[in-house]
Structure formats: structure tokens, C-alpha cells
């Protein structure tokens, strides 16, 4: 006989499981142009909790006003079987960008992804160093899902039977227009949790939506000036003497250098790490760091966070670590204050206190074969999955505090981040080393609220070295990572001179880069970003996404295609790199007149051109009226408060103005108002001759501007 009570239980359970509720969504404007809604019951730990990000409210309020960008009834939330299903509408011509640091694609419509922190494995499938759950629409809005879970994204792939814009069924037997991927009018997302917070960011432009997202996360980090100089990472087992020799070689040969990166060998043991200096390779760490500082060179230290049984803090930290080890090192549960104190005190005493300027925090992204598995447990109760999604945020957040406590800015490297990490002083890098894909990542970093460096390591040829180097100097961190190869900027003799000129150009452009980063901090504008965020970069024709019937208009065709090999740098520059083996390339100009950066000559306007620049030039173009403040080609960034003479370049035919950011370049005093924006103006006088002016220094504010001269590049 069957037990009737068991039957009843089964029935009750199955009813519970199949309960799905669609809720009436309440959208609350949490900051101007940013709306929040809650689906189901959100978890207590999420990306914003892990990062501790706080919105820069005043800066958000200064963006052009926005109204709720979507029809609210077209957004649906459902909790089914303990999971949350989200649905957002898409229109026909709409494109979507973002969903993290992708390396091969910029257009995300039509993608199926699982957002999961990981090293990049060669496919844009959602597993990446910063799988930021944020997307931006070409229609000028953004959506952010605040969860520390692996989420599944169907970005315009699935079709519901009740779709308002359902595609018509076609007969594949006879109809040539039959499509294996019918039109989808929604982004659908599965969050494996019983609830989640969702944020909508208004525009009106896609750049405004990105700005709101970045400012919502606190705004970009303002690096110290030296962070924008040149950096070399030396071979793993270099000794203090080797490092000093390398620095001397930079000086003698006249290559700029601001900070030098020590790789695993500075530690007595690594993989897992002791976080202690090796007494043979570095017998006097404090003396070494101070000696370098006197020569204007800062030290950056590699580490991963996995604690060796030989680390001084091992025994104490053990109770606050996860169930699983990484390379036999324990994993501190950094959500616990006890673990944080023990871990970061060691770094503070041993390194930061003696003058180390920053860290490169490695291997917090993963690779499933060495990282903790999803069945690992942590003493705080935070699950392995949540820890994986946020560990990069945690190491950035709390290591950044070490420098803030000293009122010193830092700028370092990290291999994992996520939403909420925008205001952290870190640039992402990896081991993947595909030059073209590195540029696509640079473009996508601007949609993900993170920074990315296309580091150079070594190359198969002098040509490849120079091509890589050209993009390194037009990126957030100008870096050679020679941890394995020992490559120096001058290693490829045939191109040693152009490499040097590029490194010096990076230094000359420091006032421009510094202002671009100030705009990231104060206004949320990514310093490196996609063409799709540039005004005037839109197809004239209204082509349906995915349609092949483009009008006979090469420009419209070019801009509606995915552009993943040219990008915007700072306010006014368009960078169009070449890759080894390439002699010429196409450049797509947004509408408006564009000028050659090197000569000032007119280059194009809302059109596609082909350029053959020769090996030693990376094509760079300036917007009409573009102002580029430059300084002398020095070997080190100016010290705090040091005055520098400026040469201000003006391009094109438009009179224009530019706000130059200034502060001491090293501390957080700007947060207390110790900064200024000086207005640079270029106009024509009565006789039609160009004339440039700069507003007077602001009383009581830091002033690092010396003599200013103007160069009118377009004759
Ligand atoms: C890798 C990292 C490299 C280098 C190396 C040292 O994980 O990506 O940049 O630091 O470790 O072992």
C-alpha cells in the first residue's frame, strides 16, 4: 500500500516549486536619472556591498536630466523555483554593449553569456576578468543587475510566444529569408537567487548612461601623475642589484620610467605567498625602496593573496580562511574584518610603511583548475560562487585603503574586478596576449567601469614590438611586463629609437592624460572608450540589426558594423592602431572634421579612409577644435606641486575651449577642494590669427602650470 501522507507531501512540494510570481515593479529614482527596483527578496551580499561603492551624487546631478528610458510595463520580473527571471525590452534597431570585459566582440546583441569571473579563455562567453553585469543600449540607457551570482544572459536571442514583436513563422522549405535565429525583442536574464536589485540608468546618450553608471560607483580613480608615466616589470628572480642596474639603464639610454614592478621573486616564497621580502635577493628592503624613491622611481609589488604555511600570519589567519587551498595556500575570507586585519597589516608593516607605491594583485580571477571550487565554503557563510565574483573587488578595496590612510594615491594592477570597482586604483591585465583582442578589451573596458592595459611582454619581431608599444602608450597604463622574458624597451634594436620617442610622447601628453582621468573621476567619462559612445558616430540609415540589406552607403555600412579596432582616448583623440603584418587600415571618422595628430592636416569627416602610415606611426586623429595640452618629454612625472611649462596644441578650424585639471598630483587633498580647472581658450583675433589664452591660477589652489605656449597645428 502507498502511504497517502507521502503523496500529500509530494503534491505540496510540487505546488511550491512551480509557484511563480510576477510582481508589480516599483521604480524608485535613487539619484537623478538612476532608478532602482527590487525583484523578489534580494540577497544580503551583492556587488555593491562587496565594493562598498558610494554614488557621487552631486556629479550625477550635473548630467543632463533624463526620464525613465523604457516602458515600465515592458520590464518584467518573476521569481520561479527560487530563481529570478528578468526581462527587458529591445527595439528593432537597438544594439547593446557591455556585459563585462569582452575581448572579441563589442556588439552584444544576439549573445548568450554566463557572467562568471575567470581568466579569459579565448571566447566571449561571459567568463572574463570583469564580467560586469551592466549593459548599455545604443538608445541611450543602461541596465545593471546587482548580484554576486553567476547569471545567465540571453541578450536578444529568445522569443516568447506572447512577444509584442514576435517574428513571423517562415517556411524553411521554400522561403529564402528563413532565419535560424529569429528576431528577439528582449534581453532576458536568469539570476540564481530568490531576488535581486536592478538599476536603470538614463541617458539621453549612451555616454550619459555610462557616466551615470561610473559615477554611481563613485567615479573613476584619479591616479597619481606618476601612475600615468612609464612602467617596467622586471624578471621574476631579479635581485635588488639587478633592479637598480635596470633603472640605471633606463636613465642612461634616456627612456622614461616612473615605477618598476617586482614579480614573485621579491618574496621569500611564492605560489603560495609569504608576503615577506626574500632576505638574499633583497637584504635591505627599506633602504632599497627609499634609494629608488630618491631617484623618482616607485616600487610596485606582485602578489597573489594565497597565504603560505610559511607566511608569518599563517597560523593567525587560518581560522578565517576558506575550506579549500590555492596552490596549498589558504584563502583569506576577506569579508571578515579579522582576516582583513591580519592580511593587510602584514602588507602595511612590511611594504607600504617603507614606501612601496602599489601592488599587482594576481590570480584573483581564477582558472577553475587552481582556484577554489564552487563547493568550497568560507567562515562568513558567503558562498564560493559569491566569493569568486567579488574577490577581485575585495582585494582592491582593502589594499587601496592602505594608501589612503597615508594620504597617498596608488596605481596598480589586478586580474579581476566587477561592478562597483570603478573607483579602485587598479588596471586589469592578463596572460592572453592577443594584440587585436587587447584593443577590443580596451574598447569594452569603457562599458564595464574598469581600466585595461594592453601590456607588452615580448614579440616575435621588431615590427610586432613596435606595434604593441604604440598601443601601450595610448592606454591607461604604459607598461612592459617582462616577468618571463626580461625584454627592455630597447631590446629590438631596429625599433629602439621609435619606441623611445613613443615613451617620451607618453610623458609629453601627461597633462592631457591627467585631465582625461580627472574627467573619469569627476564626470564619469571613461578615458578610453568605444567609438559607439562618440557623438556623430551613428548610421544615417535605419537598418534593422542583423539585416544584410544595407543601403549603398559605405559610411552607414561602416558604422552599423562592429568596430573593434579603433577607439577614443581622452576628450579629443581617436586612435586607430595597426597590428603586425598590417601595412594599411581603414579608419572610420564620426561626423565632424578630424585632423592628423602629428601634422594637423585635415583627415576626414563622417567617412571611411584608408591609411598607410609606415611602421613608426600609430594613426591618431584629433577632433575639430581639439586642444591637447603637452609638456616637456621628461623621464619622470613631475613631483607633487612641481611647475611644468605647457605647449598647448590646437587642431582644426573651430575656436574652442578646454578645461585643464590641476592638483598636487599625489594626495587626496583634491577631495577637500585642493584642485582647479583652468580654462584654455583658442580663438581668432580681429585679423583672423589664432590666439590662445589660459585663465589665471585659482587663488589658494595648487598650481603646477608654468609658462604656456600655443601651437596651432592646422595651417
Ligand atoms: C601571471 C601574471 C603575469 C606574471 C606571472 C608571474 O599570473 O599574469 O603577469 O605576474 O603570473 O608568475
What pLDDT digit, counting tens, does each position of 32-60 carry? 999 999 999 999 999 999 999 999 999 99
Percentage of residues of the chain with pLDDT beyond 90? 92
Q: Could you identify the residue written with the cell 620610467?
A: 257
In a domain, 508, yes or no: no
Same domain, 194 and 258: no
How much is the pLDDT for 554?
Answer: 72
Same domain, 144 and 36: yes
**Residue 297 pLDDT > 90, yes or no?**
yes
702: cell is: 595648487
Same domain, 62 and 139: yes
164, 71 contact by CB (below 8 A): no
Same domain, 270 and 400: yes
Same domain, 199 and 261: no
How much is the pLDDT for 15?
Answer: 45
Same domain, 469 and 586: no
**Residue 635 pLDDT > 50, yes or no?**
yes
pLDDT band at 658 (very low <50, low <70, confident <90, very high): very high
479 Cα to the center of ligand 1, angstroms: 14
pLDDT band at 538 (very low <50, low <70, confident <90, very high): confident
CATH number for the domain that contains residue 65: 2.60.40.1760
**Residue 544 pLDDT > 50, yes or no?**
no
* Count of Cβ atoms closer than 10 Å to residue 28 Cβ: 9
Tens digit of each residue's pLDDT (9 = 90 or more) over 584-617: 999 999 999 999 999 999 999 999 999 999 999 9
pLDDT band at 558 (very low <50, low <70, confident <90, very high): confident
Same domain, 258 and 333: yes
362 CB near ligand 1 (under 6 Å): yes
Same domain, 202 and 232: no
Contacting residues for 395 by C-beta, under 8 A, at least 6 apart: 305, 334, 361, 364, 414
In a domain, 539, yes or no: no
263 CB near ligand 1 (under 6 Å): yes
DSSP 344-400: HHHHHHHTGGGT--EEEE-SSS--TTTSPPTT---TT---HHHHHHHHHHHHHHHHH
370 Cα to the center of ligand 1, angstroms: 14
User: Closest Cα to residue 263, out of 248, 284, 288, 281?
Assistant: 281
Cα separation values, 531 from 451, 516, 569, 671, Å:
16, 16, 10, 31
Residue nearest to atom 3 of ligand 1 (CA): 431
In a domain, 713, yes or no: yes
Q: 466, 498, 530 — which closes off a domain?
A: 498
265 CB near ligand 1 (under 6 Å): no
User: Closest Cα to residue 483, out of 638, 616, 300?
Assistant: 300
In a domain, 525, yes or no: no
Tens digit of each residue's pLDDT (9 = 90 or more) over 116-165: 999 999 999 999 999 999 999 999 999 999 999 999 999 999 999 999 88
564: cell is: 573593434
pLDDT band at 25 (very low <50, low <70, confident <90, very high): confident
Mean pLDDT of 504-526: 98
**Beta-bridge partners for 88:** 187
C-alpha dihedral over 134, 429, 434, 101, to 10 degrees?
0
**Residue 650 pLDDT > 70, yes or no?**
yes
**Residue 682 pLDDT > 70, yes or no?**
yes
**Residue 9 pLDDT > 60, yes or no?**
no
Our mutation pick for probing the ligand 1 site, out of 231, 272, 302, counting the most ligand atoms within 8 A of Cβ, is: 302
18: cell is: 512551480
How much is the pLDDT for 151?
Answer: 98
Same domain, 438 and 338: yes
DSSP 521-578: HHH---SEEEGGGSTT-S-SS-PPTT-----S-HHHHHHHS---S-EEETTTEEE---
Q: 461, 478, 498 — which closes off a domain?
A: 498
Mean pLDDT of 383-393: 98
Lowest mean pLDDT among 256-270, 547-561, 583-597, 678-692: 547-561
135 CB near ligand 1 (under 6 Å): no
Mean pLDDT of 557-564: 85
CA R_g for the chain: 26
264 Cα to the center of ligand 1, angstroms: 8
pLDDT band at 6 (very low <50, low <70, confident <90, very high): low
In a domain, 398, yes or no: yes
E strands within 391-468?
A: 412-414, 426-428
268 Cα to the center of ligand 1, angstroms: 17
C-alpha dihedral over 286, 290, 291, 292, to 10 degrees?
110
CA 700 centroid distance within chain: 34
- Asked whether the bond before 310 is cis by omega within 30 degrees of 0, the reply is no
Residue nearest to atom 10 of ligand 1 (CA): 263
> What phi and psi values does residue 82 have, to the nearest 5 degrees?
75, 10
CA 330 centroid distance within chain: 29
455 CB near ligand 1 (under 6 Å): no
481 CB near ligand 1 (under 6 Å): yes
In a domain, 138, yes or no: yes
Percentage of residues of the chain with pLDDT beyond 70? 95
In a domain, 343, yes or no: yes
- Quote the domain boundaries for residue 684: 572-715
Closest atom of ligand 1 to CA, residue 302: 10
In a domain, 513, yes or no: no
Report the chain's mean pLDDT, rounded to a whole number. Answer: 95
Same domain, 335 and 484: yes
642 Cα to the center of ligand 1, angstroms: 35
pLDDT band at 537 (very low <50, low <70, confident <90, very high): confident
* Count of Cβ atoms closer than 10 Å to residue 168 Cβ: 8
How many structural domains comprise the chain? 3
Q: 455, 474, 498 — which closes off a domain?
A: 498
Lowest mean pLDDT among 382-391, 543-552, 569-578: 543-552
The whole-angstrom separation of Cα 300 and Cα 553 is: 50
Our mutation pick for probing the ligand 1 site, out of 233, 267, 413, 483, counting the most ligand atoms within 8 A of Cβ, is: 483
CATH number for the domain that contains residue 239: 3.20.20.80
414 Cα to the center of ligand 1, angstroms: 11
303 Cα to the center of ligand 1, angstroms: 9
Same domain, 304 and 411: yes
How much is the pLDDT for 8?
Answer: 54
CATH number for the domain that contains residue 686: 2.60.40.1180
Give the CA angle between residues 398, 399, 401 to the nearest 5°: 65
How much is the pLDDT for 12?
Answer: 47
Tens digit of each residue's pLDDT (9 = 90 or more) over 399-435: 999 999 999 999 999 999 999 999 999 999 999 999 9
Same domain, 403 and 348: yes
**Residue 540 pLDDT > 50, yes or no?**
no
How much is the pLDDT for 5?
Answer: 60
The whole-angstrom separation of Cα 187 and Cα 154 is: 6
Amino acid at each position: 500500500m502507498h502511504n497517502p501522507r507521502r503523496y500529500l507531501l509530494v503534491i505540496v512540494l510540487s505546488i511550491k516549486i512551480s509557484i511563480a510570481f510576477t510582481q508589480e515593479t516599483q521604480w524608485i529614482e535613487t539619484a537623478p536619472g538612476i532608478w532602482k527596483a527590487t525583484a523578489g527578496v534580494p540577497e544580503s551580499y551583492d556587488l555593491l556591498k562587496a565594493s562598498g561603492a558610494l554614488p557621487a551624487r552631486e556629479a550625477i546631478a550635473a548630467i543632463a536630466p533624463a526620464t525613465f528610458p523604457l516602458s515600465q510595463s515592458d520590464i518584467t520580473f518573476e521569481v520561479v523555483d527560487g530563481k529570478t527571471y528578468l526581462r527587458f525590452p529591445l527595439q528593432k534597431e537597438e544594439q547593446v554593449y557591455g556585459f563585462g570585459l569582452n575581448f572579441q566582440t563589442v556588439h552584444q546583441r544576439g549573445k548568450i553569456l554566463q557572467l562568471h569571473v575567470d581568466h579569459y579563455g579565448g571566447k566571449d562567453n561571459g567568463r572574463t576578468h570583469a564580467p560586469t553585469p551592466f549593459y548599455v543600449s545604443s538608445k541611450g540607457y543602461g541596465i545593471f543587475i546587482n548580484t554576486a551570482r553567476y547569471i545567465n544572459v540571453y541578450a536578444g536571442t529568445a522569443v516568447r510566444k506572447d512577444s509584442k514583436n514576435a517574428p513571423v513563422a517562415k517556411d524553411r522549405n521554400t522561403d529564402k529569408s528563413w532565419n535560424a535565429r529569429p528576431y528577439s525583442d528582449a534581453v532576458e536574464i536568469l539570476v540564481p537567487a530568490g531576488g535581486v536589485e536592478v538599476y536603470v540608468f538614463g541617458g539621453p546618450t549612451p555616454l550619459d548612461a555610462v557616466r551615470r553608471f561610473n559615477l554611481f560607483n563613485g567615479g573613476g580613480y584619479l591616479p597619481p601623475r606618476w601612475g600615468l608615466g612609464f612602467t617596467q616589470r622586471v624578471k621574476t628572480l631579479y635581485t635588488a642589484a639587478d633592479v637598480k642596474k635596470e633603472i640605471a639603464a633606463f636613465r642612461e639610454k634616456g627612456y622614461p620610467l616612473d615605477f618598476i614592478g617586482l614579480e614573485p621573486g621579491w618574496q621569500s616564497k611564492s605560489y603560495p605567498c609569504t608576503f615577506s621580502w626574500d632576505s638574499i635577493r633583497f637584504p635591505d628592503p627599506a633602504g632599497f625602496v627609499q634609494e629608488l624613491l630618491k631617484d623618482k622611481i616607485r616600487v610596485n609589488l606582485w602578489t597573489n593573496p594565497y597565504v603560505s604555511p610559511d607566511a608569518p600570519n599563517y597560523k593567525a589567519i587560518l581560522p578565517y580562511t576558506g575550506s579549500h587551498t590555492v596552490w596549498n595556500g589558504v584563502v583569506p575570507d576577506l569579508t571578515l574584518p579579522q582576516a582583513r586585519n591580519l592580511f593587510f597589516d602584514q602588507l602595511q608593516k612590511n611594504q607600504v610603511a617603507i614606501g612601496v607605491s602599489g601592488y599587482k594583485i594576481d590570480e584573483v580571477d581564477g582558472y577553475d583548475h587552481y582556484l577554489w571550487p564552487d563547493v568550497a565554503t568560507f567562515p562568513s557563510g558567503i558562498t564560493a560562487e559569491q566569493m569568486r565574483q567579488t574577490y577581485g573587488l575585495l582585494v582592491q578595496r582593502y589594499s587601496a585603503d592602505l594608501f589612503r590612510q597615508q594620504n597617498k594615491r596608488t596605481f596598480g594592477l589586478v586580474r579581476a574586478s566587477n561592478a562597483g570597482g570603478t573607483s579602485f586604483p587598479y588596471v586589469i591585465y592578463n596572460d592572453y596576449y592577443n594584440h587585436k583582442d587587447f584593443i577590443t578589451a580596451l574598447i569594452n573596458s569603457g562599458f564595464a567601469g574598469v581600466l585595461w592595459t594592453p601590456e607588452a611582454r615580448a614579440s616575435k619581431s621588431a615590427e610586432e614590438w613596435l606595434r604593441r608599444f604604440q598601443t601601450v602608450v595610448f592606454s591607461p597604463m604604459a607598461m612592459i611586463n617582462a616577468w618571463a622574458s626580461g625584454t627592455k624597451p630597447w631590446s629590438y634594436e631596429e625599433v629602439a629609437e621609435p619606441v623611445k620617442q613613443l615613451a617620451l610622447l607618453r610623458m609629453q601628453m601627461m597633462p592631457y592624460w591627467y585631465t582625461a582621468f580627472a574627467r573619469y573621476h569627476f564626470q564619469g567619462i571613461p578615458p578610453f572608450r568605444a567609438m559607439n559612445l562618440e557623438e556623430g558616430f551613428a548610421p544615417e540609415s535605419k537598418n534593422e540589426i542583423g539585416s544584410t540589406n544595407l543601403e549603398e552607403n559605405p559610411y552607414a555600412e561602416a558604422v552599423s558594423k562592429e568596430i573593434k579596432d579603433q577607439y577614443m582616448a581622452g576628450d579629443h583623440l581617436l586612435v586607430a592602431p595597426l597590428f603586425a603584418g598590417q601595412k594599411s587600415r581603414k579608419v572610420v571618422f564620426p561626423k565632424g572634421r578630424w585632423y592628423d595628430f602629428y601634422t594637423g592636416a585635415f583627415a576626414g569627416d563622417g567617412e571611411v579612409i584608408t591609411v598607410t602610415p609606415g611602421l613608426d606611426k600609430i594613426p591618431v586623429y584629433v577632433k575639430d577644435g581639439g586642444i591637447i595640452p603637452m609638456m616637456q618629454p621628461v623621464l619622470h612625472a613631475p613631483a607633487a606641486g612641481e611647475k611644468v611649462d605647457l605647449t598647448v596644441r590646437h587642431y582644426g578650424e573651430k575656436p574652442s575651449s578646454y578645461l585643464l585639471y590641476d592638483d598636487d598630483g599625489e594626495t587626496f587633498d583634491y577631495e577637500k577642494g585642493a584642485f582647479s580647472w583652468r580654462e584654455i581658450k583658442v580663438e581668432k583675433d580681429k585679423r583672423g590669427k589664432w590666439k590662445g589664452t589660459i585663465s589665471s591660477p585659482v587663488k589658494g589652489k595648487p598650481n603646477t602650470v608654468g609658462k604656456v605656449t600655443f601651437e596651432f597645428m592646422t595651417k
